[in-house]
Amino acid sequence: MALELKSRQFRLEREADWQRLELLLAKFERGRGADLTDTDIIAIPVLYRATLTALSTARAISLDKNLIDYLESLATRAYFCVYGARTTLLERLLQFFAHDWRRTVRALWRETLASAALTILGAVTGFLLSERSPEWFSAFVPEGLAAGRDYDASFKDLHDSLHGIHGSSGLGVFSTFLFTHNAQIALLAFALGFACCLPTAFLMIYNGLMLGAFFALYVQHGLGVEFGGWALIHGTTELFAVTLAGAAGFRIGWALAFPGRLGRMDSLIASGKQAAVVMGGVIVMLAVAGLLEGFGRQLIDSTAARYAIAASAAILWLAYFYVPD
């Protein structure tokens, strides 16, 4: 009873200050900091220090736990208001591109290698099987994505498809379909990673199978080099983005299957934050790939120039991510 009376008296003497601090913090946290007067702004650090003193006293004389928890929460909120970092949107974006995204991608290097290896495995398998039998090409490439580019197509049709001679009804439709397909693969590879990595692994292999099947088709018609330039001018960026999306999915799936010392929930939270940072950058890469697909590949008809742009993009991305800060 004596402790309860002591706690009540302690609260009554100071509660008005706590309530005022709560009201000021609520305005600040709702983005209404501009409504605070000069007196309010000066009062916040004063009330914060008074709250810390009250918290210290409450702990020292062992007042009830609810009061101590309340004061800890209030002091924490006030701390971020008084000492929290103030960054603008531009500063946050610069921080993301200069440090956060690069470091997070480097931290996922094992998952990135696994994602790339599965894609390459699928591409080699798709190439070898499609080269051996056209039926495999039909199995790996949806009819809508092929858009008439199959083993029944003539050399002229396939050649023209690489150089935009068919116009919007040919190259434009096909390239847009291909870009949309790869963007969907990237998002699904990330979103389905929670299923112990299996759907992500399947998507990486499937994307490689389709790429290998297309390459086999053009090689069979003597257009392998030209197809490589056509696909890679934006493909180095786009496929890298898909690979990173797969890596993000693998990180989440691995955390779920093998949480380690942190425990499953904590491990998922930590891996989810990393994956979210990577996917934020993947969206940027897909946008860059879209620009290269929409302008560079349509306007640049030289195979050598296409390869030069593809190689430059690959070098720039690798340097950006893996050259130390």
Q: Which pair of tokens denotes residue 297?
A: 């590949």
- Alpha carbons 28 and 35: distance in angstroms, whole number: 9
Cβ atoms of 141 and 252 closer than 8 Å: no
Tell me the per-residue pLDDT of 177-222, one tens digit each, with 9 for 90 and over.
666 777 888 889 988 888 888 999 999 999 999 999 999 999 998 9
- Alpha carbons 202 and 211: distance in angstroms, whole number: 14
Q: Which pair of tokens denotes residue 6?
A: 């002591």
Those residues with Cβ within 8 angstroms of residue 155's Cβ, 6 or more apart along the chain or in another chain: 221, 222, 223
> Residue with structure tokens 């890596």?
247
Tell me the per-residue pLDDT of 236-252, one tens digit each, with 9 for 90 and over.
999 999 999 999 999 99
How would residue 167 be classed by pLDDT, with cut points 50, 70 and 90?
A: very low
- For the chain, how many helices (H) and strands (E)? 15, 0
How would residue 304 be classed by pLDDT, with cut points 50, 70 and 90?
A: very high
Q: CA 161, 136, 210 angle in degrees (round to 5)? A: 55
Cβ atoms of 112 and 243 closer than 8 Å: yes
Those residues with Cβ within 8 angstroms of residue 203's Cβ, 6 or more apart along the chain or in another chain: 185, 188, 189, 192, 246
The confidence score (pLDDT) of residue 1 equals 47
Q: What is the full DSSP assignment across 33-79? A: GGG--HHHHHHHHHHHHHHHHHHHHHHHTT--HHHHHHHHHHHHHHH
Tell me the residue type at 316. L
How would residue 157 be classed by pLDDT, with cut points 50, 70 and 90?
A: confident
Tell me the per-residue pLDDT of 8-65, one tens digit each, with 9 for 90 and over.
777 778 888 888 888 888 888 777 767 778 788 888 888 888 888 888 887 877 677 7
Cβ atoms of 126 and 213 closer than 8 Å: yes
**Domain extents for the chain?**
7-84, 93-322
Whether pTM exceeds 0.75: no
Cβ atoms of 174 and 149 closer than 8 Å: yes
- Alpha carbons 47 and 136: distance in angstroms, whole number: 73
User: What's the chain's average pLDDT?
Assistant: 84
Question: Across 5-14, 48-57, 94-103, 139-148, which has the greatest mean pLDDT?
Answer: 94-103
Tell me the per-residue pLDDT of 58-85, one tens digit each, with 9 for 90 and over.
787 767 778 788 888 888 888 878 776 5
